[in-house]
Structure 1
Amino acid sequence: MGTTKNPLFIVLAFFSIYVIWGSTYLLNKIAVTELPPFMLASIRFATAGLLIFGISRAMGKRLRITRAQFFNTAIAGFLFLAFGNGVVVWTLRYVDSGFAALIISAQPLVVLVFMRIFEGKKILPMSMVGVALGLTGIYLLVSQKQVTSEENSVLGSIMIFCCLLSWSYGSLFVGKANLPTNHFVNTGYQMFAAGIILAIASLAFNEPWSSPFNWSTPVQYSMLLLIIFGSIVAFTAFNYLLKVISPEKVATSTYVNPVIAMILGWYFLDEQITSQSAIAAAVLLTGVYFINTKKKLMVLSRFTSKASTFLKKN
């Protein structure tokens, strides 16, 4: 998959980061009920990275990268996966999967603010509306009594927000960093680096490791799906999009992920969807329209202009 803006690739890539990633909250929630969080994430990413290396070699892709590229993939692996995802898995012991996904849905707003701070990019009026809606939605979400009254839920919410900051900065970093030109190889190095970092974290926290043969069947299937689809397919699509689409557009996946996560959590895990959570989700999802509305308004303006010219001529 090259850096060419192939419309089919872009559509499939957005489907991956919208739908597949939305399901990973459920899969992680199932697995973390039985496995230590950092061990879980370490095995997932290290295995996915090794599989990507094997597939890349079979496809004749070069795995050799420069020292700078290796260093940058390690940074990206830490920002996105080791901290950005590994800590989220840890928080799923204390919060519902849909709740975690909803907090992370604020990522496009943080990306816009970071682009303003680090790149001096002007925030458009419509995007400001999106920011306001996002802040309102987050307030509605975290102010619920069902959330604030549960043990460690506040700590979990704070740590998820820290992960959100890590992912947001990582999105800007990857967009400009010197990384392997092949997105599949790039993903492999990020995955493997994150797996090693998470393994060190797991040992530091004295997590007990166990053989996959001793895991329950639901956990085994969850890990398999996380490795193949959640890691290899979706993250490769994510890296591709960061090179061909602006970061704030890629970050809109976090608006769709919560809907998928909430539905799956409700259906498979009997997680409660309160009316306030539903309202918060609706408010947050509305924000994606305002972040993406500039292009739509330009298209509408061109259409109106052409229609007006046609009417005058006829």
Structure 2
Amino acid sequence: MAKSSNSALVILAFFAIYVIWGSTYLLNKIAVLELEPFMLASFRFTLAGLCIFLLAKIMGTSLRITKKQLLNTLIAGVLFLSIGNGLVVWALRYVDTGFAALEISSQPLIILLLMRILQGKKIQPMSVVGVVLGIIGIYLLVSQKQIIAQEESIVGMIMIFFCMFCWAYASLFVAKADLPTNYFVNTGYQMLFAGIVLSLMSLGFGEEWISPLAWSGEVQLAMVLLIFLGSIVAFTSFNYLLKAVSPEKVATSTYVNPIVALLLGWYFLDEQITLQSIIAAAILLTGVYFINTKKTLAIFERFKR
């Protein structure tokens, strides 16, 4: 019975990182067109973190963690969310949701290169093919005339690349770091710390803070979905799956998120899907597939132990 229950939990967790995370690009885009980006992200993660702590208390889950775990959740929260997500929200002001999702799908390539640079891990032959295809796919994606012609789009694209490096480094850090064993508590601390840092970033950049009561109904709904589904459900699912299943299975979200984001952006925001974007997506995701082979991602298993 327990095995069946665990299987159901894994399936639900995969649905969360596949579909819910894929939809957060659309939700963030809707909100950031009306709200300041760092204020938006701060509001989302601070409330999500507080809600998680409240739920943990109701369920009788202890929030006690060691000083080392406190520091590690702070580092992970800042890298994953304050920078890794906050700057993506900012970039969505200037790039389409599908473009952002496709660019971020090359993250396994960044992780592989960081593992080579920082830990000296050998890149497997299949992964070399993946890297080459990934570079070709990224080039085709970012070299489109409508992107090059818009200076702001280029800035957004560069910021997304920086976010990917932060997220990739955080993934390597989390794999070996001493973190709270309870996934819910772990997520809560990361969210809360990220929200606090984002609020400081927002104040530092002089952003205008607007009362939620003054937001449009569309933005209010987007924020509710971002907090409860995109933050609490999906990020907790992500932390759970990092420990519950093999890394190559978690990495399959890389293929699904961009497709979900592309379709939702096209349907709800009338974003254009060009032939070059489709070709770039096919080549890029094929490259990611080669990178995410069992031989390559067996390296991640050693980090988990």
- In 1, Cα distance between equivalents of 2:58 and 2:294: 43
> Equivalent residue of 1:152, what SS?
helix
CA distance in 2, matches of 1:294, 1:180: 28
Q: Is the 8 A contact 1:112 1:123 kept in 2?
A: yes
Quote the RMSD (CA, aligned, Å).
1.7
Paired residue for 1:274?
274
Q: Name stretches of at least 5 consecutive residues in structure 1 with no aligned partner.
A: 296-314
Q: Output the CA distance in 2 between the equivalents of 1:76 and 1:248.
A: 21
What is the alpha-carbon distance in structure 1 between the residues aligned to residue 12 and residue 122 of structure 2? 30
Task: Determine the structure 1 residue equivalent to 2:114.
Answer: 114
Is 1:36 the equivalent of 2:36? yes
- In 2, Cα distance between the equivalents of 1:292 and 1:211? 44
Cα distance, 1:74–1:294 mapped onto 2, change above 3 Å: closer
Q: Which piece of structure 1 moves more, 5-14 or 140-149?
A: 5-14
Q: Are residues 1:225 and 2:202 paired?
A: no
- Which aligned pairs between 1:128-277 and structure 2 lie closer than 5 A? 128-245=128-245, 247=247, 249-277=249-277
Query: How far apart are 1:7 and its partner, in Å?
Result: 4.1
| Aligned amino acid, residue 42 of structure 2 | S
Following TM superposition, by how much is the alpha carbon of 1:89 offset from its aligned partner in structure 2, in angstroms? 0.4
* Alpha-carbon separation, structure 2, partners of 1:245 and 1:163: 25
Task: Within 5 Å, give how 1:56-67 maps onto structure 2.
Answer: 56-67=56-67
Structure number with bigger Rg: 1
The residue aligned with 1:127 is 127
Aligned equivalent of 2:303: none
Match of 2:301 in 1: none
Give aligned pairs, total.
Answer: 291
Task: Give TM-score scaled by structure 1 length.
Answer: 0.88
Contact 2:248–2:294 (CA under 8 A) maintained in structure 1? no
How far did 1:249 drift? 5.0
Provide the C-alpha distance between the structure 2 equivalents of 1:114 and 1:242, rounded to a whole number of angstroms.
19
Letter in 1 for 2:195: G
Bigger mean CA deviation after superposition, 244-253 or 70-79: 244-253
Q: 1:114 to 1:247 in 2, by over 3 A?
A: farther
Change in Cα spacing, 1:246 to 1:121, as seen in structure 2 (3 Å) is farther
Measured after TM superposition, the shift of residue 101 of structure 1 is: 0.8
| Equivalent in the alignment of 1:301 | none
Q: What does 1:280-299 correspond to in 2, within 5 Å?
A: 280-294=280-294
1:61-76 to structure 2, matched below 5 A, reads 61-76=61-76
TM-superposed CA distance for 1:135, in Å, is 1.0
**Equivalents in 1 of 2:188, 2:232: separation in Å?**
8
Query: What amino acid is aligned across from residue 29 of structure 1 in structure 2?
Result: K
| Cross-structure match for 1:90 | 90
Tell me if the contact between 2:74 and 2:190 (Cα under 8 Å) persists in the aligned partners.
yes
TM-score normalized by the length of structure 2: 0.91
Q: Structure 2: which 5+ residue stretches go unaligned?
A: 296-305
Contact 1:141 1:280 in 2 (8 A): yes
Percent identity over the alignment is: 69
Change (3 A) 1:238 1:205: same
